[in-house]
A and B are shown apart, each in its own frame.
Chain A
């Protein structure tokens, strides 16, 4: 059974090789004449000030947390979609209860302003 995944593993190995090979080619053939100016972060010609990596706006964390919630739901949907024909009406009702719970969650997040960017 697991044998079906072996070609994907071979493909992955080649993809990793290609990725590092391309980086290596650039490294070998490209000239290297670094100066302090060149190494400075590019900010459209302005002299950069302050640290490059700063604190991240809390909005992004919120999006990430919501994403995890709803993405797991999507995985459930994929599996449910395969067996729905066998489950029939029972599977349909069960999933709609689940879907309703999630819809309530989405509406709650919406009303709380978690989806606003202002």
Chain B
């Protein structure tokens, strides 16, 4: 380990955080534009060309908004909760490789922040932390709507986390490793979505619930809970919740692309390593588009149906998928 290595990590960390926050800004714009088009509207197109400066205008507006802390709120928790929500969203993609390695300024630079051998476990562990932020936000607001929203959100997230965790067992079984790089390399010929169709669908639906997206956006059911756990939040603290939500959207798209769609694998990626990130982001953008498309298409499902779907349908299917995959892996292993 030398000083150059540490600088490399620092630069890569800053780059990833800037990338995720910048990505967040433009995913909001993408969502508003695509939703508008699907509803035969135009969407924000006045600030800058095609509305490209809209996210910056939104950010500036939020910075100069008044910060409110409701009477009777737990002040410390109220301020810390959005930070706790955003941290996991920012660090979760640290183990995702963007490519093998490229040669830059005479240095061989690996296109991932960390290549740890328990990558999937890290993803699972970090996902769980974001629940705390939402629970605390709902509880500390001293508001009935916020508390119900926070509780609902917590129950929903932990219920779908089970199916989410089990759906990731499939790729690990097929690759025989928890290292994310190994899982990507194992998909050189065939992406795991084709070998694990049930696992892929369970992952997709579970992540929609995990990031509170439509049709599972119960915690933010405007008609009944005003804004769920962030009812009382304003100014930049509200922006942090929004940031966490959209960064998580990018993160699960990135993880899903890596685990099921071959990650950075694509034609000619061995000869031209910088094509890796291009393929990965192509897949991520398609994934995000599908998320938005679903939001424009499907109505919100009722809360008891949502919980029933998680426990009585998704979880047994995920369990069965692991069961069948396990048998097939043992049968096809040559001894």
Residues from 12 to 60 in B contacting A, C-beta threshold 8 Å: 12-14, 16-17, 21
Q: A54 to chain B: closest CB distance in Å?
A: 7
Q: A71 to chain B: closest CB distance in Å?
A: 6
Specify which chain A residues have a CB less than 8 angstroms from the CB of B65 in the assembled complex.
26, 30
Q: Please state if B72 and A30 are interface contacts (CB–CB under 8 Å).
A: no
B278 at the interface (CB under 8 A from A): no
Specify which chain B residues have a CB less than 8 angstroms from the CB of A67 in the assembled complex.
158-159, 161-162
Residues from 22 to 72 in A contacting B, C-beta threshold 8 Å: 22-23, 25-27, 29-34, 36, 38-44, 48, 51-54, 56-57, 59-60, 63-64, 66-67, 70-71
Chain B residue at minimum C-beta to C-beta distance from A71 = B162
CB within 8 Å for A19 and B116 given contacts A3-B1, A53-B142, A81-B173: no
User: Number of A interface residues, CB 8 Å?
Assistant: 71
Q: Please state if A84 and B330 are interface contacts (CB–CB under 8 Å).
A: yes
Q: B125 to chain A: closest CB distance in Å?
A: 9
Specify which chain A residues have a CB less than 8 angstroms from the CB of B145 in the assembled complex.
42-43
Q: Using C-beta atoms within 8 Å of the partner chain, give the interface range for chain B.
A: 35 or more
Chain A residue at minimum C-beta to C-beta distance from B332 = A85
A19 to B79, CA, bound (A): 11
Specify which chain B residues have a CB less than 8 angstroms from the CB of A54 in the assembled complex.
144, 147
B197 at the interface (CB under 8 A from A): no
Q: Please state if A23 and B120 are interface contacts (CB–CB under 8 Å).
A: no
Q: Please state if B237 and A23 are interface contacts (CB–CB under 8 Å).
A: yes
Q: Please state if A15 and B236 are interface contacts (CB–CB under 8 Å).
A: no
Q: Which 7 A-B pairs have the closest CB atoms?
A: A26-B236, A52-B142, A117-B304, A19-B83, A74-B165, A15-B90, A81-B172
Known pairs A26-B67, A96-B323; list 11 more (Cβ under 8 Å): A5-B114, A11-B113, A26-B239, A30-B67, A52-B142, A64-B158, A74-B124, A75-B121, A85-B333, A99-B323, A116-B304
Q: Which residues of B contact A (CB under 8 A)?
A: 1, 6, 9-10, 12-14, 16-17, 21, 62-72, 79, 82-83, 86-87, 90-91, 94-95, 113-117, 120-122, 124, 139, 141-147, 151, 154-155, 158-159, 161-162, 165-166, 168-169, 172-173, 176-178, 226, 231-232, 235-237, 239-240, 243, 303-304, 307-308, 311-312, 315-316, 319, 322-323, 326-327, 329-330, 333, 335
Q: Which residues of A contact B (CB under 8 A)?
A: 3-8, 10-12, 14-16, 18-20, 22-23, 25-27, 29-34, 36, 38-44, 48, 51-54, 56-57, 59-60, 63-64, 66-67, 70-71, 74-75, 77-78, 81-82, 84-85, 88-89, 91-92, 95-96, 99, 103, 106, 110, 115-118
